[in-house]
């Protein structure tokens, strides 16, 4: 893919090849194309579905129009942009471009008046952005699924690898790597389900959203029902109650959902970064990579750092979209128009972060030597188990006894077993505790990893 090194956004140069599908989906050309297609489909829809009110088109004319539509390319874009430079109106430029084609045909020129019939530009824009955003969500979900697949694989693969958990940064009851990755897959599964439930919405009801132009033409037609049927062609739901603009609440829902997904994976990236720092994970070496310009020994967790930064940019954009787009002065102002043009950026930065996350995950492997050593140095984490069984057997000051023994101190296997042997508890409980080790005190984590 060729890209311009002078573009201001890294999405269009440094990261261009990584998100080519999303860039294409949200490009200016894509926006012009979907507007163009909607205008043509609307004219065909009127003449096909309402033959009593609108003169039907011949099969030959329909084929000619469809050929014109299907031949959309960069030349069309250039011509439409040239018209826009004169009209200073992007949607009207598309209408004029189509009209120019129709006027060159003796039959089609009789239908020029039906191009953009009854519509305001926001009807076209509302449906256009609904389609682009709907398709963008699917592309983003594809990247999320790749990460989630890796996490689910690790959850099962590492289900039995015990390691020292930490709360407040301090040694805590051990877990397994598999179970900790399961937490993230569970969170992602839930958010993906919610994201997929969001229905894209559009308005198609003319100026100020009251079907004025439709009702004045033929009040015997159920225009809300007819226009809803048209929107269904694009797999978009109708928002019947709007001002001149669709209020974008559904885009806010999408934005908030993506923010939550970004946050889940930022949490993952930060945890993996710390696990690497604490030698829980080793990074696989790539002999051609450079970790530092001055320190040859370094192997850095750069992919997780890249992910964290780009998730942050994406969430900042989506937070603004959700906050801004749901507010408009009276029936219409244009402040949402320039904002909507940037919605692809939120998706793009999230996709870059997802790709970096998956790349980072592909480089990590459990550092079993370090994990086992850390567990063996922290026998005091078993005091939770000891206290629990002491309480179960009716010892009222169990917590205080264990606090005196272990707080701020290091237990060894020897001192731990000496303490257990001196406890006044049943042989059953004593045997449980004597046989316990930090590496085996993992509760149901193995079960949870595979659940």
CB atoms within 10 A of CB 227: 25
Close Cβ partners of 135 (under 8 Å, ≥ 6 residues apart): 25
Question: Which helix (H) or strand (E) covers residue 399, if one does?
Answer: helix 398-406
Q: What distance separates the 2 farthest-apart alpha carbons in the chain?
A: 104
Residue 423 DSSP class: S
CB atoms within 10 A of CB 47: 20
Q: Structural domain boundaries of the chain?
A: 10-117, 122-368, 378-450
Backbone angles phi, psi at 172, to 5 degrees: -140, 180
Backbone angles phi, psi at 364, to 5 degrees: -95, 150
Which pLDDT value is given to residue 4? 63
Domain at 10-117: CATH code: 1.10.275.10
Which pLDDT value is given to residue 402? 75
Distance of alpha carbon 267 from alpha carbon 278, whole angstroms: 16
3-state helix, strand, coil in the chain (%, to 5): 65, 5, 30
Domain at 122-368: CATH code: 1.20.200.10
Which pLDDT value is given to residue 297? 43
Catalytic residue among 168, 220, 297, 409: 168
198 with 254: CB under 8 angstroms?
A: yes
Active site includes 330? no
Which pLDDT value is given to residue 236? 98
- At 42 the three-state DSSP class reads helix
What tens digit of pLDDT does each residue of 148-165 get? 999 999 999 999 999 999
Residues in the chain: 451
Catalytic residue among 20, 53, 277, 292: 292
- Per CATH, 10-117 and 122-368 having the same topology is answered no
CB atoms within 10 A of CB 333: 12
- Tokens 């997780």: give the residue: 304
For the chain, 451 residues long, the average pLDDT of each consecutive 10-residue run is 71 91 96 98 97 96 98 97 95 97 97 97 97 98 98 98 95 96 98 98 95 95 97 97 94 98 98 96 73 51 96 98 94 90 96 97 97 95 91 83 71 90 91 96 96 88
DSSP secondary structure letters along 216-234: HH-TTS-HHHHHHHHHHTT
CB atoms within 10 A of CB 221: 17
Which pLDDT value is given to residue 289? 61
Q: Cα–Cα–Cα angle for 197, 198, 201, nearest 5°?
A: 140
Which pLDDT value is given to residue 294? 47
Q: Cα–Cα–Cα angle for 403, 408, 412, nearest 5°?
A: 85
Which pLDDT value is given to residue 221? 96
Which pLDDT value is given to residue 291? 52
Distance of alpha carbon 279 from alpha carbon 302, whole angstroms: 16
Active site includes 356? no
CATH 1.10.40.30 fits 378-450, yes or no: yes
- At 144 the three-state DSSP class reads helix
């Amino acid at each position: 893919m060729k890209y311009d090194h002078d573009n201001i956004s890294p999405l269009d140069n440094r990261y261009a090849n990584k998100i080519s599908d999303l860039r294409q989906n949200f490009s200016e050309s894509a926006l012009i194309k979907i507007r163009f297609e909607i205008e043509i489909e609307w004219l065909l829809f009127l003449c096909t579905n309402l033959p009593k009110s609108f003169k039907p088109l011949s099969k030959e004319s329909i084929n000619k129009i469809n050929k014109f539509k299907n031949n959309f390319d960069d030349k069309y874009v250039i011509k439409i942009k040239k018209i826009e430079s004169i009209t200073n109106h992007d949607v009207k430029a598309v209408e004029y471009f189509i009209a120019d084609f129709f006027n060159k045909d003796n039959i089609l020129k009789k239908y020029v008046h039906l191009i953009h019939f009854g519509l305001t530009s926001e009807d076209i824009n509302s449906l256009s952005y609904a389609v682009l955003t709907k398709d963008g969500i699917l592309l983003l979900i594809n990247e999320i699924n790749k990460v989630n697949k890796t996490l689910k694989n690790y959850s099962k693969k590492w289900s039995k690898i015990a390691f020292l958990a930490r709360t407040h940064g301090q040694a805590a009851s051990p877990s397994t790597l598999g179970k900790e990755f399961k937490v993230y897959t569970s969170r992602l599964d839930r958010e993906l389900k919610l994201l997929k439930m969001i229905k894209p919405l559009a308005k198609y009801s003319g100026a100020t959203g009251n079907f004025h132009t439709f009702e004045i033409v033929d009040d015997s037609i159920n225009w809300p029902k007819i226009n809803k049927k048209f929107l269904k062609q694009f797999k978009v739901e109708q928002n019947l109650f709007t001002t001149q603009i669709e209020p974008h609440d559904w885009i806010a829902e999408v934005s908030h959902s993506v923010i939550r997904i970004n946050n889940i994976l930022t949490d993952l990236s930060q945890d993996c970064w710390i696990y690497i720092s604490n030698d829980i994970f080793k990074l696989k070496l790539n002999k051609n990579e450079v970790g530092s310009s001055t320190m040859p020994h370094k192997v850095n967790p750069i992919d997780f750092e890249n992910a964290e930064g780009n998730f942050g940019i994406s969430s900042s954009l989506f937070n603004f979209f959700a906050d801004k787009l749901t507010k408009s002065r009276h029936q219409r102002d244009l402040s949402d128009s320039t904002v909507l043009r940037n919605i692809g950026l939120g998706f793009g930065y999230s996709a870059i972060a997802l790709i970096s996350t998956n790349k980072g995950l592909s480089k990590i492997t459990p550092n079993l030597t370090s994990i086992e050593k850390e567990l063996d140095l922290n026998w005091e984490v078993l005091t939770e188990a000891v206290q629990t069984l002491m309480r179960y057997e009716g010892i009222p000051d169990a917590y205080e006894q264990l606090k005196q023994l272990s707080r701020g101190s290091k237990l060894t296997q020897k001192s731990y077993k000496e303490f257990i042997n001196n406890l006044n508890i049943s042989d059953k409980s004593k045997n449980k505790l004597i046989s316990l080790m930090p590496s085996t005190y993992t509760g149901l984590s193995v079960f949870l990893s595979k659940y």
